[in-house]
């Protein structure tokens, strides 16, 4: 074995990665060759010391920078307005909150035509991306809608009759909130027109109908 | 005893000035965990859990408003009735934390603090502020208003925060 | 058009337990505990920084990269499941950040030999290994920083950080043969730099 052949293998040799046959050849060469031994020994030193390199520390000002960077990432993740059309389906948040992770049975947050966010068996908040996962939501049937509309109509008639005798503040509150709910219903209907199988819109619409009933029942007594 | 004296004093003041707002004040001593219902129309409602066993309910109400209470065992109901016009009634109630609450309102801020009993809030136009809540069930429904919740969620609990128009801000403790 | 905002804020946890293991801290941090996250930084940032510094050879770049690493840690800690040691996970993340940094700057890690293969292979018999053993670690660090990026990466990953060639090859997107060759050339170059230094300072 020549020196340059030996030195080609020296790294692998000291790393214990040469085949037995080659290893024997290398060792035989090393026994008789001081320069190659020097290379081997130097490499061993380098490797040895490289295992003992000290740890360096960055400037102490680094942590505040990181903390500030992290604070920017913290939620407030959802602090931008969530618009229905802006792509509920493209929103993709995965926020895991410990109490939820511990398994709160159900946390439901409903924001009108925005988003239903629930935590179910999976341990993170997810906007329902086109799919309502709970088993207890009954898909909206025409019969349901008709019944709700019937109830709403009868309540509305009753409320209309008395509305004029209300305080202005009360009347304004009623009309404003009715408007919000109707807006919600309109948007849900639009969504469902484009996609009748849209579970999310169905649930929101059902909810909005119920809200309307609640509103009317609440004001019926005035 | 102090409470009674205060009410008497307040009523005395009322006799003097007909235009001042009426003051409602009651103390209840439930035997066990109580259920408190407040049914208001216009005004703020504030219920705070404290370390006493009694329930003290105070309200400032416009003269056009009357507040009635009804007690059946440990069930206490406070109801606002409007007589002539829609005046305001602002409630300030102190309860033992394990009291269950059913709050009904139409207009006005609702604030609950330090409650571990069941919570139900039903309103039309209210900001709802829940702080220090550690309850097995929370059901908040408003048509418009912001909901702020700062409390703990129970593993087997059920929580519903609903606002048709408003912000929902939920703060939960980390592990 | 109605628009609503949902904000979810996580309150800061109380201090994690004193004897919290990395896994416990990671879980707490994933759950939102900024105190746990800070503790993880406290315990691991030196190693991360050292790796970055050795790979980049520049303190301010290394600090920037350390910051990047920990922001990544923050973002991804939820996905750390404890199948490996936290240090391993963190390490991988760090190496990835360094490699991305190199890629962004168009730093080529694979070198064809500049000075010709094994030009300095045959040493004069007067060179003795005892010289190198007198080199302090600073000299070695300095020599490492003088390596071309490709050699330096292979050397730091293999000899300083203990990765196997198979892993290095995968990380760098090269063959195992290339990784071995880069390492060998790095060691050769270091030897050359260290002996030169000793020769320069006299003995």
pLDDT in tens, C138-163: 888 889 999 998 899 999 999 998 88
Instruction: Compare A69 and B80 and report the one with higher pLDDT.
Output: B80
Query: Do C193 and C146 form a contact (C-beta atoms < 8 A)?
Result: yes
* Model confidence at A167: pLDDT above 50: yes
- On whether residue A133 sits in a domain, the answer given is no
Nearest CA among A97, A87, A139 for reference residue A118: A97
Considering only CB atoms, which chain C residues are within 8 Å of B173?
11, 13
CB nearest to A183's CB, from C2, C4, C74: C2
Which chains neighbour A (Cβ–Cβ under 8 Å, 3 or more pairs)?
B, C
Instruction: Compare B76 and C78 and report the one with higher pLDDT.
Output: B76
- On whether residue A57 sits in a domain, the answer given is no
Considering only CB atoms, which chain C residues are within 8 Å of A62?
45, 49, 63, 66-67
Computed over every residue of chain A, the mean pLDDT equals: 71
Residue of A nearest to C30 (CA): A96
* Model confidence at A91: pLDDT above 60: no
Range of the domain at A24: 3-50
Each residue's pLDDT tens digit, B51-80: 999 999 999 988 888 899 999 999 999 999
pLDDT for residue A108: 52
Of the pLDDT bands very low, low, confident and very high (cuts 50, 70, 90), residue C172 is confident
Considering only CB atoms, which chain A residues are within 8 Å of B88?
none
Query: Do A49 and C50 form a contact (C-beta atoms < 8 A)?
Result: no
* Model confidence at A68: pLDDT above 60: yes
pLDDT for residue C181: 93
Distance CA A188, CA A207 (A): 10
Cβ within 8 Å, pair B168-A176: no
Of the pLDDT bands very low, low, confident and very high (cuts 50, 70, 90), residue B119 is very high
Each residue's pLDDT tens digit, A43-62: 988 998 898 888 899 998 89
Distance CA A17, CA C162 (A): 14
Query: Do A57 and C59 form a contact (C-beta atoms < 8 A)?
Result: no
pLDDT for residue A196: 78
Provide DSSP, C13-48. PPPPPTT--HHHHHHHHHTT-HHHHHHHHHHHHHHH
Query: Do B169 and B151 form a contact (C-beta atoms < 8 A)?
Result: no
Q: What is the rounded average pLDDT of the residues A8-23?
A: 91
Distance CA B21, CA B64 (A): 9
Please tell me the total number of residues recorded for chain C in this structure.
Answer: 203
Computed over every residue of chain C, the mean pLDDT equals: 76
Considering only CB atoms, which chain C residues are within 8 Å of B174?
10-13, 28, 31-33
Give the gyration radius of chain B's Cα atoms: 16
pLDDT for residue A210: 87
pTM of the shown model: 0.48
Indicate if A87 and A147 belong to the same structural domain: no
What ipTM was reported for this prediction? 0.80
The last residue of one of the domains, among A127, A150, A181, is A127
Cβ within 8 Å, pair A112-C141: no
Highest mean pLDDT among A65-79, A117-131, B101-115, C7-21: B101-115
Query: Do B51 and B11 form a contact (C-beta atoms < 8 A)?
Result: no
Distance CA B8, CA B12 (A): 6
3-class DSSP state of B139? strand
Considering only CB atoms, which chain C residues are within 8 Å of B168?
4-7
Considering only CB atoms, which chain B residues are within 8 Å of A207?
162
* Model confidence at A165: pLDDT above 80: yes
Cβ within 8 Å, pair C6-B173: no
Residue of A nearest to B145 (CA): A177
Q: What is the rounded average pLDDT of the residues C28-32?
A: 74
Range of the domain at B144: 2-171
C129-201 fold: Arc Repressor Mutant, subunit A (1.10.10)
Each residue's pLDDT tens digit, A194-217: 777 776 677 778 888 888 999 999
Indicate if A113 and A170 belong to the same structural domain: no
Each residue's pLDDT tens digit, C7-27: 443 222 233 333 458 888 887
Provide DSSP, B54-67. SEEEEEEE-TTEEE
Each residue's pLDDT tens digit, B121-138: 999 999 999 999 999 888
Give the gyration radius of chain C's Cα atoms: 21
3-class DSSP state of A34? helix
> What are the boundaries of each domain within chain C?
22-104, 129-201
Which residue stretches of A97-164 are H helix?
98-101, 142-163
Q: Does C19 touch chain B (CB under 8 A)?
A: no
Indicate if A91 and A111 belong to the same structural domain: yes
Query: Do C136 and C194 form a contact (C-beta atoms < 8 A)?
Result: no
pLDDT for residue A106: 42
Site from A80, A173, A204, A207 to mutate, B interface, most B CB atoms within 10 angstroms: A173
- According to DSSP, the residues that pair with B27 across neighbouring strands are B56
State the nearest Cα–Cα gap between C80 and chain B, in angstroms.
17
- On whether residue A55 sits in a domain, the answer given is no
Residue of B nearest to A118 (CA): B160
Q: Does C17 touch chain B (CB under 8 A)?
A: no
Nearest CA among C173, C182, C117 for reference residue C149: C182
Which chains neighbour B (Cβ–Cβ under 8 Å, 3 or more pairs)?
A, C
pLDDT for residue B103: 97
Angle at A131 between CA A130 and CA A133, to 5 degrees: 155
Q: Does B73 touch chain A (CB under 8 A)?
A: no
CB nearest to C159's CB, from A47, A58, A78: A47
Distance CA A76, CA A81 (A): 11
C22-104 fold: Rna Polymerase Sigma Factor; Chain: A (1.10.1740)
Domain count, chain A: 3
Indicate if A160 and A191 belong to the same structural domain: yes
Cβ pairs A/B, distance under 8 A: 98
Which H/E stretch holds residue B158?
A: strand B147-165
Distance CA B154, CA A104 (A): 6
Q: Which of A21-25, B61-65, C64-68 has the lowest mean pLDDT?
A: B61-65
3-class DSSP state of A90? helix
pLDDT for residue A154: 93
Which chains neighbour C (Cβ–Cβ under 8 Å, 3 or more pairs)?
A, B
* Model confidence at A28: pLDDT above 70: yes
Phi, psi of B172 (to 5 degrees): -120, 150
3-class DSSP state of A114? coil
pLDDT for residue C2: 36
């Amino acid at each position: 074995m020549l020196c340059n052949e030996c030195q080609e293998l020296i790294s692998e040799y000291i790393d214990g990665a040469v085949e037995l046959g080659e290893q024997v050849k290398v060792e035989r060469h090393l026994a008789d060759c001081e320069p190659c031994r020097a290379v081997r020994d130097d490499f061993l030193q380098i490797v040895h010391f490289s295992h003992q390199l000290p740890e360096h520390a960055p400037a102490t000002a680094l942590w505040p920078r990181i903390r500030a960077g992290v604070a920017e990432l913290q939620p407030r993740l959802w602090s931008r307005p969530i618009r229905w059309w802006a792509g509920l389906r493209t929103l993709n948040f995965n926020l895991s909150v410990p109490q939820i992770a511990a398994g709160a049975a159900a946390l439901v947050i409903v924001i009108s035509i925005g988003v239903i966010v629930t935590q179910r068996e999976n341990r993170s908040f997810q906007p329902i991306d086109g799919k309502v996962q709970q088993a207890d939501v009954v898909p909206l049937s025409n019969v349901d809608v008709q019944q709700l509309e019937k109830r709403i109509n009868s309540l509305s008639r009753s409320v209309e009759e008395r509305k004029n005798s209300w305080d202005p503040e009360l009347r304004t509150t009623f009309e404003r909130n009715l408007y919000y709910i109707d807006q919600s219903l309109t948007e849900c209907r639009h969504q469902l027109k484009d996609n009748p199988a849209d579970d999310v819109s169905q649930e929101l619409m059902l909810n909005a109908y119920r809200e309307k009933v609640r509103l009317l029942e609440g004001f019926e007594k005035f | 005893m102090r409470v009674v004296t205060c009410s008497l004093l307040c009523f005395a003041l009322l006799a003097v000035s007909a235009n001042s707002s009426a003051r409602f004040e009651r103390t209840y001593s439930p035997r066990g965990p109580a259920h408190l219902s407040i049914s208001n129309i216009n005004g703020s409602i504030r219920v705070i859990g404290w370390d006493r066993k009694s329930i003290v309910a105070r309200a400032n109400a416009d003269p056009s408003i009357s507040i009635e209470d009804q007690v059946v065992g440990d069930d206490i109901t406070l109801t606002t009735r409007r007589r002539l016009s829609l005046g305001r009634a602002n409630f300030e109630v102190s309860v033992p934390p394990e009291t269950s609450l059913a709050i009904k309102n139409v207009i006005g801020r609702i604030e609950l603090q330090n409650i571990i009993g069941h919570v139900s809030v039903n309103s039309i136009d209210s900001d709802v502020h829940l702080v220090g809540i550690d309850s097995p069930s929370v059901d908040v429904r408003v048509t418009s208003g912001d909901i702020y919740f700062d409390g703990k969620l129970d593993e087997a609990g059920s929580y519903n925060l609903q606002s048709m128009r408003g912000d929902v801000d939920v703060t939960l403790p980390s592990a | 058009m109605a628009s609503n905002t949902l904000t979810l804020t996580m309150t800061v946890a109380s201090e994690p337990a004193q004897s919290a293991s990395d896994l416990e801290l990671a879980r707490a941090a994933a759950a939102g505990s900024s105190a746990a996250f800070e503790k993880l930084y406290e315990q691991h940032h030196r190693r991360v920084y050292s790796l970055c510094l050795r790979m980049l050879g520049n303190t301010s770049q290394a600090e920037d990269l350390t910051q990047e690493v920990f922001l990544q840690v923050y973002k991804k800690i939820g996905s750390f499941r404890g199948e490996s040691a936290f240090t391993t996970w963190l390490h991988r993340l760090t190496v990835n950040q360094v490699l991305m940094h190199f890629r962004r700057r168009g730093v080529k890690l694979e070198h064809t030999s500049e000075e010709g293969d094994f030009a300095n292979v045959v040493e004069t018999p007067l060179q003795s290994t005892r010289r190198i053993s007198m080199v302090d670690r600073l000299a070695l660090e300095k020599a490492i920083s003088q390596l071309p990026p490709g050699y330096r990466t292979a050397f730091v990953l293999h000899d300083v950080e203990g990765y196997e060639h198979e892993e290095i090859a995968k990380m760098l997107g090269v063959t195992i043969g290339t990784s071995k060759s880069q390492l060998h050339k790095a060691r050769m170059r270091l030897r050359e730099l260290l002996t030169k230094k000793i020769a320069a300072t006299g003995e």
